[in-house]
Amino acid sequence: MSQFWKPGTERPRLIDDEEGGVLFYSTSALSSSSSGYGFASVEKQRQRLPVYKYRTAILYLVETHATAIIVGETGSGKTTQIPQFLKEAGWAEGGRIIACTQPRRLAVQSVASRVAEEMGVKLGEEVGYTIRFEDVTNTDLTRIKFLTDGVLLREMMDDPLLSKYSVIMVDEAHERSLSTDILLGLLKKIQRRRPELRLIISSATIEAKKISSFFSPSKRRQALQTEDHGPNAEPAILSVEGRGFNVEIFYVEDPVPDYLQAAVSTVLSIHDQEAMGDILMFLTGQDDIDAAVQLLSEESRNGRNQAGLIILPLYSGLPRADQDLVFSPTPRGKRKVVISTNIAETSLTLEGIVYVVDSGFSKQRFYNPITDIESLIVAPISKASARQRAGRAGRVRPGKCYRLYTEQYFLKEMSAEGIPEIQRSNLVSSVIQLKALGIDNILGFDWLASPSSEAMIRALEVLYSLGVLDSDAKLTSPDGFQVAEIPLDPMISKTILASNQYGCSEEVITIAALLSMQSIWISARGTEKELDEVKLRFAAAEGDHVTFLNVYKGFIQSNKSSKWCHKNFINYNAMKRALEVREQLRRIAQRLGIVLKSCEGDIQVVRKAITAGFFANACRLEPYSYNGTYKTVRTSQEVYIHPSSVLFRVNPKWVIYNSLVSTDRQYMRNVISIDPSWLREAAPHFYQHQQPKPIAH
Ligand code: CDP
Ligand code: MG
């Protein structure tokens, strides 16, 4: 059926890590079936999970050690069970709270609601969660709190010792997200001041040794610790034995030209030829997931096997109801196909998966400190990720994993492990947070993995030019502290501050709220033309930011109607969330003394405010450019206006972009036209050596 590859007709390629042999996930006698799940009582289900056998051991280690590192395969029950064990053992008594951090927002919401359900309590009471712009906790009632690592970092600004928490579980540590790394460095400091605090670091892979030696104190301190009978400061490591089944690995014979098409064909072949069992497909992001959902629906409708396939997307930003579908048991006689980002790699466990289709790619952040360009790139995953993905197929019975890359590629070219995010990120936000927490010597900070000094210097440079840091690299008052207070990228925060002077805080806050959504448009393959036409209704000559204002106005005038959104290809859920974010930002702004004021249609001041925050992203159209080539003013990189922008093909001489995406080229997303004279006005010291010159056309 597939023009690329037919699973089933292939000789099975067997691997044992690097060489031949089946990839073994340790098996157990435990028998469960996909339909068996859901019948057992909650307590029975809990007892079946591998961590259950380690309950006493885990509680003992937490009691006796300042830091416990728990390694266990995905789905063994670390995230959902350990916080409950701690609560049952009394760690939440006396008003204390047990925290569990996750790198991903969707995982936070999902595990919190699962734990609330298991405990039979209402979400937001005894069990709650907090993600940026959404706090579902109760100050008096919440005892177990799930939150993103980023939110916990923010909490340190008000409560530097995180004193309300008795135990902090840093989950998914193997992901090495930017915030996890920074958090671990700071928690190590807090431990010295709060010997009663317990840390649990949990991970799906054996990064444990590195983290263990990171938390290992010096010999002298250890001696002191023993004297006062405090917990052992040396970290304890516990490995939870998994219970996965064998997963047979298949590779493509030749590289596939289009992983999306190949993935769709593979799913159809599996459905055609293989026994029942759900399929999990790993793609990279909302756009290719939506495209795959559509392709698969069309293909299965046209083909013989339309019956029985339930096609479900899974990515962050998905509405609640759609998330729940992914977790609901598959009806008898049906087969679920979950098409996911790498959120299903280790953060979330789906029951009933027997087949995994691995595209070999994920969306990753890359930052180049030389060009100062950070972009989200679809990049090859590591071997460690490939193994995790394969493992998802062996949860309920022996499974199969179809890799859409060659065995040769896996063995010879795939890197063993991913690079920690801190070494491939722009550090502007991190530096400002550390500064706000009083960590002045950033270069000397105790990093789990050091970021490059170039990236650090770039960050300091940008913050200095934003007026957030002074020449001694200290936060300025009040600007620096205010920018640090706003939970957004410092450039947007600075724009909000600037809007106060320009009298357009209402507009700028609206723009900031809409920009913090992944996308407010509904895009689907085949409807691009209609979407483009609809966008023209809102398009503003000045650019996308102003277009956002028009959309917002229309939404409010429609009385926040979902019908209106639908008619205009606007994502209703995103708009509703944007309204909430907007309200929160207005409250924060007021707290910072910003006067809420509208410029009443004087859009020039809005553009000036944006320039005040984003001058570092200024670009100039190349003289005599016929294909819309721009160059960044700072580093002379070639960039182009993204086709989704209302300024695509309009190509004003000077623009400022909000972010860059890389595909075949560097594309600017969310672009606004500016007057070059505003740049020097906004950042004289930044542009003194690189004066923007007017161009002759
Ligand atoms: O953290 P770890 O990967 O070790 O496992 P977990 O997330 O605690 O998952 C334990 C069990 O809870 C699995 O069987 C999951 O399928 C289930 N679970 C669920 O049914 N719904 C959720 N939202 C989260 C977990
Ligand atoms: Mg987990």
Report the amino acid identity of residue 532. D
Q: Computed from CA positions of residues 50, 55, 59, 65, in that sequence, does the dihedral angle turn out positive or negative?
A: negative
User: Which residues lie closer than 8 Å to 32 by C-beta, 6 or more apart?
Assistant: 48, 396
- pLDDT for 688 equals 64
The model's confidence at residue 304, banded by pLDDT at 50, 70 and 90, is low
For the chain, state the CA radius of gyration: 26
323 in contact with ligand 1, CB cutoff 6 A: no
Burial code of 78-95, b = ≥16 C-beta within 10 A, e = fewer?
A: bbbbbbbbbbebebbeee
The pLDDT of residue 116:
97
Mean per-residue pLDDT of the chain: 88
Identify the residue with better confidence: 690 or 498.
498
Q: What is the reported pLDDT for 305?
A: 59
pLDDT band at 634 (very low <50, low <70, confident <90, very high): confident
- Give dist(CA 106, CA 344) in Å, integer: 11
79 in ligand 1 pocket by Cβ < 6 Å? Answer: yes
Residue the block writes with tokens 């009806």: 331
List the residue whose alpha carbon is closest to atom 14 of ligand 1. Answer: 75
Q: Are 116 and 127 in contact (CB under 8 A)?
A: yes
3 state SS of 680: helix
Residue 8's pLDDT is: 38
pLDDT in tens, 152-184: 999 999 999 999 999 999 999 999 999 999 999
Cβ-in-10-Å burial (0-12, 13-18, 19+) of 370 comes to: exposed
Q: What are the DSSP calls for 266-315, one per residue?
A: HHHHHHHHS-S-EEEEE-SSHHHHHHHHHHHHHHHHHSS--TTEEEEEE-
Confidence label for 689 from pLDDT (cuts 50, 70 and 90): low
| Ligand 1: nearest atom to the Cα of 74 | 3
Report residue 33's pLDDT band, with 50, 70 and 90 as the boundaries.
very low
- Cα torsion 366, 367, 373, 378 to 10°: value is 0
Angle made by CA atoms 636, 639, 642, in degrees to the nearest 5: 160
Instruction: Please list, in sequence order, all residues whose beta carbon lies within 8 angstroms of the beta carbon of residue 610, skipping any fewer than 6 positions away.
Output: 495, 508, 511, 545, 656, 672, 674
Please check the confidence at residue 697 and state whether its pLDDT lies above 70: no
d(CA 424, CA 418): 10
| pLDDT at residue 674 greater than cutoff 90 | yes
Which residue type does 149 have? D
Instruction: Specify the residue with its C-alpha closest to ligand 1, atom 6.
Output: 77
Kindly tell me if the per-residue pLDDT of 393 is higher than 60. Answer: yes
Name the residue with the closest Cα to ligand 1, atom 17.
349
Domains and CATH numbers, the chain: 14-25+40-219+228-239 (3.40.50.300), 247-421 (3.40.50.300), 426-481 (no CATH), 492-696 (no CATH)
- Name residue, tokens 């006689």: 333
* pLDDT range class, residue 321, cuts 50, 70, 90: confident
Question: Smallest Cα–Cα separation from 254: which of 105, 137, 407, 374?
Answer: 407
Closest C-alpha to 498, from 247, 663, 683, 688: 683
CB 233 within 8 A of CB 199: no
Ligand 1 near 137 CB (within 6 A): no
Q: Is 349 in the pocket of ligand 1 (CB under 6 A)?
A: yes
72 lines ligand 1 (CB under 6 A): yes
Q: Regarding predicted confidence, which is higher, 127 or 10?
A: 127
Rounded average pLDDT over 587-605: 96
Confidence of residue 376 (pLDDT cuts 50, 70, 90): confident
Q: pLDDT over 90 for what percent of the chain?
A: 72
Ligand 1 atom having least distance to the Cα of 347? 3
For residue 244 and ligand 1, the question of a CB distance below 6 A is answered with no
Whether the CB-CB separation of 179 and 103 falls below 8 Å is answered with yes
Ligand 1 centre to CA of 326 (Å) is 13
Cα(414) to ligand 1 centroid in Å equals 29
C-alpha span between 121 and 113 (Å, rounded):
9
Residue 207 confidence (pLDDT): 67
Per-residue pLDDT, 369: 87
Q: Is 102 in the pocket of ligand 1 (CB under 6 A)?
A: no
Q: Give the per-residue pLDDT at 218.
A: 66
Is the pLDDT score of 686 beyond 80?
no
Residue whose CB lies within 8 A of the most ligand 1 atoms, among 80, 86, 102, for a mutation test? 80
682-693: average pLDDT: 66
* pLDDT at position 37 over 50: no
In whole angstroms, give the CA distance from residue 268 to residue 277.
Answer: 13
In the structure, what pLDDT confidence band is assigned to residue 653 with cuts at 50, 70 and 90?
Answer: very high
Q: How many angstroms separate the alpha carbon of residue 673 from the centre of ligand 2?
A: 45
Question: Residue 187 pLDDT more than 70?
Answer: yes
pLDDT tens per residue across span 251-265: 999 999 999 999 999
Measured by CA distance, the residue closest to atom 8 of ligand 1 is 77
| Binding site membership of 74 for ligand 1 (Cβ less than 6 Å) | yes
Per-residue pLDDT tens digits for 115-161: 999 999 999 999 999 999 999 999 999 999 999 999 999 999 999 99
pLDDT tens-digit profile of 82-96?
999 999 999 999 999
Cα–Cα nearest to 180, from 201, 206, 158: 201
Window from 302-316, 319-333, 339-353 with minimum mean pLDDT:
302-316
The C-alpha atoms of residue 465 and residue 10 are separated, in whole angstroms, by: 58
> Alpha-carbon distance 431 to 638, whole Å?
28
Instruction: Please determine, for residue 21, whether its predicted confidence score (pLDDT) is greater than 60.
Output: no
- Interface TM-score (ipTM) > 0.95: yes
Predicted local confidence at residue 5, as pLDDT: 42
Residue 104 phi, psi dihedral angles, 5° rounding: -115, 140
Which ligand has an atom closest to residue 243 CA?
1
Distance of CA 263 to the CA centre of its chain: 23
Show Cβ contacts of residue 282 under 8 Å, excluding neighbours closer than 6 positions: 340, 341, 342, 344, 345, 356, 357, 358, 359, 362, 389
The reply to whether ligand 1 has any atom less than 6 angstroms from the CB of 76 is yes
Which residue do the tokens 């590591």 mark? 382
Q: Read off the pLDDT of residues 396-430 as tens digits, 9 standing for 90 and up.
A: 899 999 999 999 999 999 999 999 999 999 999 99
